[in-house]
Amino acid sequence: MISIDRKINMMKKIFGGLLTLLLFSLLLPLRSSATGQIVSYQTPTSTSGVFAMVTGDDGNLWFTMPAEKKVGRSTVSGSIDEFTLSSAPYNITKGLDGNLWVTLTDDQKIAKITTSGVVTEDDISSGMGLRAPMGITAGPDGN
């Protein structure tokens, strides 16, 4: 079994620079400083569990908190804001438009969140019996 320190060091070698990690056992947003020190921050909603993370075009760390129906934004200094959604956010990705895009698993919706925190939700149910959206990524054409 590989120790967590060894896994982190392997990730640093692979990704280098400012590394964004999610340590599932702690369920906290983590950052690696320029010197390689791992720093964790407590979310304002202390009962929340962090699931998916992405670095936004604004340089902040954005993450989903499904149990709380929220998306969080953490600055490098550790200031955290939370944004409430209509249902549980699952995955998150950065779009080519600079916005963050989130799947909402309970409502067959996706949400767009601007880097200033404005949330817009869109229903993607099509009457075709599709289940909740799970993964999301930007296509080469920006859609």
pTM across the whole model: 0.70
How high does pLDDT run on average in the chain?
75
Identify the pLDDT of residue 22: 37
Given a contact cutoff of 8 angstroms between Cβ atoms, the answer to whether 135 and 119 are in contact is: no
136: pLDDT strictly greater than 90: no
> In this structure, what DSSP letter does residue 10 have?
H
Residue 101: name the closest of 59, 140, 141, 143 by CA.
143
Instruction: Return the higher-pLDDT residue of 78 and 16.
Output: 78
Identify the pLDDT of residue 99: 94
Identify the pLDDT of residue 24: 35
Identify the pLDDT of residue 10: 56
Compute the chain's Rg from CA coordinates: 16
Measured between alpha carbons, how far is 90 from 20 in angstroms, rounded to an integer? 18
Identify the pLDDT of residue 17: 39
Taking only the tens place, the pLDDT of each residue in 84-99 is 999 999 899 999 889 9
Identify the pLDDT of residue 75: 85
Q: What is the mean pLDDT of residues 111-122?
A: 93
Taking only the tens place, the pLDDT of each residue in 41-82 is 677 776 667 888 898 999 898 999 888 899 999 887 788 899
